[in-house]
Amino acid sequence: MDKKFVQNRYATIRLAHNVSARKLSLELGQSTEYINQIENGKNMPSLEGLFNFCEYFGVTLGEFFEQEYAYPIEYKKLIQELNKFDALELKQILDLVTLINSKRQ
């Protein structure tokens, strides 16, 4: 994990919520360029800034730093929806996803 990961994660999460960098900066109580500076690698967030960012989007620090999940917001929503299914329905969904992925390769 490196500085580029943090930059990309900020942008990915922000864009998943369709929030402009300027709006987010202001809502976090920062200057209008705060988020742009992080996403462009000109600045790094403080620990408090990272906490505020995660809280704003409802993402845990673990979800933020989980490298395996490229789109943590979408995964979280998907898991919430999957929790509504029973075991047989989950198996069918898994079979469908497996089939779709096999066709993509």
Closest CA to 64 of 49, 85, 84: 49
pLDDT of residue 21: 97
pLDDT of residue 85: 95
Judge whether residue 89 has pLDDT over 80: yes
Encode pLDDT of 40-88 as tens digits.
999 999 999 999 999 999 989 998 998 888 788 788 889 999 999 999 9
Helices (H) and strands (E) in the chain, counts: 7, 0
pTM metric for this prediction: 0.75
Most confident of the ranges 34-43, 72-81, 95-104: 34-43
- Cα torsion for 35, 21, 76, 62, to the nearest 10°? 0
What domains are there in the chain, each with its CATH number?
Answer: 3-104 (1.10.260.40)
The count of other CB atoms within 10 Å of the CB of residue 77 is 12
